[in-house]
Amino acid sequence: RDLPYPLRRQRQMCIRDRREDDKVVGGTINQSGSLLIRATHVGDDSVLAGIIRLVENAQSTRLPVQALVDKVTAVFVPVVMSIAVLTFAIWLWLGPSLAMALINAVAVLIIACPCAMGLATPTSIMVGMGRAAEMGVLFRKGQALQQLRDVQTIALDKTGTVTVGKPSLQSLLPTANDDRTALLGLAASVEQASEHPIAHAIVQAAQLEKLSLSKATGVQSATGQGIHATVNGQSVHIGAPQFMTHTGVDLEDARETLTQLNTSGQTTVCLAVDGELKALIAVADPIKDSSAAAIQSLHELGLHIAMISGDSQATTEAIASEVGIDEALGEVLPDGKVGHVKRLQKHHGSIAFVGDGINDAPALAAADVGIAIGSGTDVAIESADVVLMRDDLNGVVNAFAISKATLRNIRQNLFWAFAYNTALIPVAAGILYPLTGLLLSPMLAAGAMALSSVFVITNALRLRHVSLDT
């Protein structure tokens, strides 16, 4: 919704199949044939140029807290002007000379100059975002720095986020007496036309065994479900159990084995030939070494953590249990992630979504804060509010740490800037003169005013040393 209409329209176009004369955009994946494409939008009309404009707009945005500062300043300045006029009038009436009345009025104006207030927020933001970059976190949208403070739930994509994203073949189990090697070659012949990580795992296993692959024809893929093709006159289906059921393949005799594989954390797909189940193919995607520790750190921040995956519910729950995730949502198709994000928002409040794939882009945009893994696709990165430069969930912890530290620093700056000016206004007005005979000269008032700005800047620079313990 935050995108200009042309980019919003192009994003909508990314989630459906293409036919002849349809428009395609950068990031469109060809999985089942060849394409001849004509470039019609180039230069300033390209999607990339539009993205650059979005980034420039994001860099010029202001945090919501800055609007509060503007409102306070809008009241503070007229009040100070009124106090200066009142100071002049009182000293002109009661004081010994016009010069003293002018000096005290000018001292009030100088000491109350809201320079420190104006510096309090942007200085902290600048230093905080610089420190965030050093910690491997890039804030593409400034508002995300403040919005992270309100996040109560984090939804994680599984593949490439919690796991490495490079599954490998664990086993191929024939359901009858068919030759395992022949079935692997048949599966790889179909999957070599696909870009899916599971397809890569199957093809790689066939290559390691130096199998000769046949040419697949009539390749058709169902996004997030499976693939169908004809190999050597045989109709071959490979996909999730739901995909097989939809195509009329009987899985009843394989249910027990499917359950065992899924509960062990392995992703299982079925291989059917001419409508008959021939094998179960199990692949496993290793969990990143840093995932469990990062999720523990997020729990310590009081966050509810959910994981969304297209794998079976049993597989998703097994992986979630291993790393300590609170809620596992399995069997979610790519276009269903947005619905789950909205449901989590409704039940748990403000939500951050962490993902890396093309199919994560709508969910990243729908979440209150979208966090993309830097090693992910360009579409995911451009849809996110925050980009993690490292392929590591600890970057999410760093993002929360820098957000917390920066907002606390801003509050400190605003308090001291306002308290400093407010406390010294009566002194500049001459309230101590009847008791001590002392007045604050304009030169000392200027020094004190400058000192408040120095204090704000020095306090902001402390963010350069923020750490996960902050």
Quickly list DSSP for 379-436: HHHHH-SEEESSSSTHHHHHHHHHHHHHHHHHHHHHHHHHHHHHHHHHHHHTTTHHHH
- pLDDT at residue 10 in the model: 41
- Mean pLDDT value across residues 333-359: 85
Q: How far, in Å, CA of 268 to CA of 101, rounded?
A: 86
Residue type, 289: D
Does pLDDT of 249 surpass 80? yes
d(CA 373, CA 453): 38
Q: What is the mean pLDDT of the chain?
A: 81
Q: What's the mean pLDDT in 97-106?
A: 82
Local structure of 246: helix, strand or coil: helix
pLDDT digits (tens, 9 = 90+) for 421-458: 777 788 777 777 777 777 777 777 777 777 888 888 89
Helices (H), 217-372: 241-246, 255-263, 291-300, 313-323, 337-348, 361-366
**Which residue reads 């000016």 in tokens?**
421
> Tell me, what's the pLDDT at 375?
62
Give, in degrees to the nearest 5, the angle at Cα 328 between 327 and 334: 125
pLDDT at 381 over 60: yes
pLDDT band at 52 (very low <50, low <70, confident <90, very high): low
318 within 8 A of 262, measured Cβ to Cβ: yes
Q: What is the mean pLDDT of residues 162-189?
A: 89
* pLDDT of residue 193 exceeding 50: yes
Average pLDDT over residues 19-26: 76
- Return d(Cα 322, Cα 324) in angstroms, integer: 6
The pLDDT of residue 326 is: 92
Residues in the chain: 470
pLDDT at 71: 77
Amino acid at site 192: Q
Q: Look at residue 125 in the predicted model and tell me its pLDDT.
A: 83
For residue 264, give Cα distances in angstroms to 41, 96, 259, 317, 468: 49, 91, 9, 10, 34
Residue 161 and residue 165: Cα distance in Å, rounded? 7
Q: Quick one: pLDDT band at residue 50, thresholds 50, 70, 90?
A: low
Tell me what the mean pLDDT of segment 102-117 comes to: 80
Residue 59 has pLDDT above 60, yes or no: no
Catalytic residue among 157, 285, 368, 391: 157
Query: What is the C-alpha separation between 466 and 470, in angstroms, rounded?
Result: 6
Q: Is 157 a catalytic residue?
A: yes
Query: Region 60-73: what's the mean pLDDT?
Result: 70
Where is pLDDT greater, at 151 or 14? 151
